[in-house]
Structure 1
Amino acid sequence: MVQSRARYLLNNTLIFALSNIGTKLITFFLVPLYTYTLTAAEYGVADLVTTITFVLAPILTLNLAESVARFPLDEDADAGKIMTVGAIVLVLSSVVGLLIMPVSQLFESVADYAVLIYLYCIATSAFTMLQCFLRGTEKLRAMAVSNILNTALTALLNILFLVVLGWGVSGYLLAYIVAMFASSVFAAISGGLVKYLRHPVVDRELARQMIRYSVVLIPNTFMWWIINSSSRVVVAALIGSAANGMLAVSYKLPSIVTVVSNTFTQAWTYSAIHEDASEDRDRFTSTVFDKMLTVLGLVTVLLLANIKWLTALYVAPAYVEAWHYSAWLLAGNLMLTLGTFLATPYSVHKDSKGMLLSGMMGAVMNVVVMLVLVPFARLTGSVVATFASYAAVCLFRFFHTKKYVGIHVRLRRHAPMIISVALLVCSSTWFDGLYTPIAVACTVATCASYWRTFKAALNAIVLRFAR
């Protein structure tokens, strides 16, 4: 039983890894192309459009992608009826979304890109909906291929539009739009969408349940926009587009960690649904959480210890100072990953209100800290606010989800890693001259504290292959 559920989790993790890690790495390696072909101000505008889309897309579709991903996982689910509701909402959102164009033209910074913002929103909505449908029906391989196709097309079109044709911000946005539309067509075909919609049946009760579940998560999406992206809007308004471009670059390396960790937490959701009724659910969940924290903590320390030269390696010289801000975001992503894992019981029990409450906690923390720090700490204040909000969400979910599952955390074992992260982040901001010796000491301390764990894991792998 233990082996079978561990294998199920591992197989899903590998599929999500194929889907997410490769795609994010390509995006990561496109950063030098962006920083050399776009000025900081242009990159700031492009990132601002992406940030706006993050909010508009789920509002337009009533956030129904969340229901399309979750409802098919129930034993008595009818995938055809579920996707029919999703398709109807998607068509209606494309019509309502036309209002985006006149509204966008009211804002000088993005007025020239009104049509592209609309197309970006619709492309994002369609791609997200279809990806979630593939996830919900557990066609994970098709989802992975669709993601890879999307990223490959994005990379090729960015090179064509930015380097060859020199279309600037418009080329940046158009590359993403074309790639997502093309990948949506592939996802629809590989997922058998025509088969599901050939004889559509509108189940009003199902539609009501799906909308009720997803609509509650719209404010949650907005809360996460406040946590993840509002800082970019505030920075652009108070400091300028160039500073926002610097902030956008500082997110790139931490986002790699987020994608890698999300690969596991996405796969864990499927296991958590299957494990909910098991007798040793709490013990199994605690074991998985402990192993995840060990790996993620070590990776975070190693990246923090080397972030200065890593940043200098892959960005233009004008953006090198972004490493100071990336350090806070790396620490924040550690908290974000733990919080995402702890949110799994909400998905298992369809508790969208719990999602909303935890999102509100993080959003309030983000706004308060940002208003206090950004006016005088500038970009540092922004990333500190992001870290504080992720930490608030993580702590809230740890205690709030105890009604569903009890997770035991071995704090003493993880103490050297936690202290190392704190020291590295603080030294990157306030004690730059001591950064190198602190980085060496923290790396040694963290590796030593986890040595027995990794030695046992290595021995287990050797024994397995020796059989």
Structure 2
Amino acid sequence: MNQYKRLLSNTFIFAVGTFSSKILVILMLRFYTGVLTQDEMGVADLIIKTTSILYPVVSLSIGQAVIRYGLERRRRKPDVFTIGLLTVACGFLISLPFNPLLKLVHYNTSAGVAGSLLDYRILIYVYVLTSCTQNVCGQFIRAIGYVRLYAIDGIFRTFMTIVLNILYLKVFRWNIYGYVASIICSDALSTVCLFMIARLWKYFRPRRINFYLWRSMLLYALPLVPDAILVYIIGFSDQAFLASMQNTSVSAIYSIAYRVPTLIALVASIFIDAWQLSMVNSNTKEEQIEFFSNVGNTYSAIVFIIASGGIMCAKLAMTVLAVKNYYIGWTFIPILAIGAGFNCLSSFQKSVYLLEKKTVPSFLSTAFSAVINIVLNALLIPRYGGTGAAAATLTSYVALFIYRALDSRRFMPIRWKSLRLGLTVLLLAVQAALMLIEPPFWLIWQLLLFGAVGLLNSRELMAAFAKILHRHRKA
């Protein structure tokens, strides 16, 4: 199977699993916002975001090393899997004494009640452990070729999360605890099922540890720890600043609005999952550059067309996804949608660093973006609230893409079609501005601009389709 066909096939498989599952979760937002108060929703989301930051620290980002090294044919699969699980276990034990640091994440409710995440430390730590273990197992089954099982597992985890959410929130009335516990239980069930179906116990051999490989995997993964933390900080700092400088109610509205741009990031996650399996190949350097350039330009076209649709449907999305108390959040979506598009392209650029095992430059680029995000949040949120947070996020993601596009040329000079990218971003900026201003016949303007973005990028999509079809016929 040629590399384009393989990429398309894997993308389709991951799309079925990931997209269907994520759509179900997003559609559940109306249920969540109806059962939980805005303050409860804000605290629950703070717990989820904090766990996302703790996850790479505890796991040492070993999941990334598991798939990168697991894809190499010369590696013994049991060595890779054993190192992955042992790293998670060691990281978890080392992190236990540091739980008082959770007191640093504090919040104010709309009723004026102050609190911190230290009250939820047991819940957070159990969540971290189950999430890290599930991730290692999930990444490993991808590395050994269980692509369909990986996709099915995504659907299974989502289904169990929804069922348990209804049980814990609607029946047992566990509120914040029920919201988080449903995710913990679904991750734990997923891990058990993967062990049974893929017979992962055969690959766990703690008595035969390859310490040389462990060192190599850690050297690859460790720079990804601060990298991952900073990625989450870019998304988390918005809510942390809003919860602290405004209140958890404003933070919750922003959090729900952020779910719409998350759909754009979902495209990135589906594609990047498939891309990781295709980028490790035996091509020559020039063939790799051509492959990366062709795929990158097609990917950018898809991402920005979806971003344009997200801007156009901002009001409709908030009406469908949440109860009316959250409707004002639509004003954040146009800015966040463009930012999400640049975040997707940054993720693609990051694959260059991962392919070349240059994880330190990846971290430095993320640090650059995170500093911009935090500084702008501190400056803009006190005056502009959620709109300031959205603007800070957009600016940081644009900076991240530009940094990586220039820096990664040392390793892989991707040939971006700059004129098309520039015109597309200009159209998106005009579209976002008109959406927020709401001039007469605003919907017609939105439809016209959406059509213009699609038309501008259609040639790229048709060229990609022709390339795949041509290669398929040759094969």
Per the normalisation by structure 1, the TM-score is: 0.92
Structure 2 distance, partners of 1:15, 1:115, is 36
Structure 2 distance, partners of 1:406, 1:460, is 21
What is the DSSP-based 3-state SS (H/G/I as helix, E as strand, rest coil) of the residue aligned with 2:15? helix
Return the offset for 1:71: 1.1
Matched, 1:4 2:11: no
Deviations 1:181-209 (A, max 9, x none): 11111122233321112574111111111
Percent identity of equivalent pairs: 25
Residue among 178, 189, 192 paired with 2:199: 192
Return the offset for 1:117: 1.3
CA root-mean-square deviation: 2.6
8 Å Cα contact 2:59/2:91 also seen in 1: yes
Deviations 1:287-315 (A, max 9, x none): 22222222222222122112212221221
Structure 1 distance, partners of 2:10, 2:173, is 40
Give the equivalent residue in structure 2 for 1:263: 270
8 Å Cα contact 1:258/1:333 also seen in 2: yes
Matched, 1:289 2:296: yes
8 Å Cα contact 1:68/1:86 also seen in 2: yes
8 Å Cα contact 1:105/1:114 also seen in 2: no
Structure 1 distance, partners of 2:203, 2:243, is 45
Give the equivalent residue in structure 2 for 1:41: 39
Give the equivalent residue in structure 1 for 2:87: 89
Deviations 1:17-67 (A, max 9, x none): 123111111111110011000111000000000011011122112222221
Structure 2 distance, partners of 1:195, 1:189, is 10
Give the equivalent residue in structure 2 for 1:317: 324
Give the equivalent residue in structure 2 for 1:52: 50
Residues 199 and 317 (structure 1 numbering): CA distance in 2 closer, same or farther, change over 3 Å?
Answer: closer
Q: Which runs of 5+ in 2 are unaligned?
A: 105-113
Residue among 367, 390, 400 paired with 1:383: 390
Give the equivalent residue in structure 2 for 1:226: 233
Residues 300 and 79 (structure 1 numbering): CA distance in 2 closer, same or farther, change over 3 Å?
Answer: same
Give the equivalent residue in structure 2 for 1:181: 188
The aligned length equals 465
Give the equivalent residue in structure 2 for 1:343: 350
The 5-angstrom pairing of residues 342-421 of structure 1 reads 342-421=349-428
Matched, 1:240 2:247: yes
Name the amino acid aligned to 1:80: P
Deviations 1:368-397 (A, max 9, x none): 211221110111111111111111111111
Structure 2 distance, partners of 1:314, 1:300, is 18
Structure 2 distance, partners of 1:350, 1:61, is 19
Residues 452 and 95 (structure 1 numbering): CA distance in 2 closer, same or farther, change over 3 Å?
Answer: closer
Give the equivalent residue in structure 2 for 1:32: 30
What is the DSSP-based 3-state SS (H/G/I as helix, E as strand, rest coil) of the residue aligned with 1:321? helix
Structure 1 distance, partners of 2:179, 2:429, is 36
What is the DSSP-based 3-state SS (H/G/I as helix, E as strand, rest coil) of the residue aligned with 2:75? coil
Give the equivalent residue in structure 2 for 1:251: 258
Q: Which runs of 5+ in 1 are unaligned?
A: none
Give the equivalent residue in structure 2 for 1:204: 211
Residue among 208, 214, 222 paired with 1:215: 222
What is the DSSP-based 3-state SS (H/G/I as helix, E as strand, rest coil) of the residue aligned with 1:229? helix
Deviations 1:381-436 (A, max 9, x none): 11111111111111111111112222222233345432221112223445566743
Structure 2 distance, partners of 1:458, 1:60, is 42
Residues 430 and 276 (structure 1 numbering): CA distance in 2 closer, same or farther, change over 3 Å?
Answer: farther
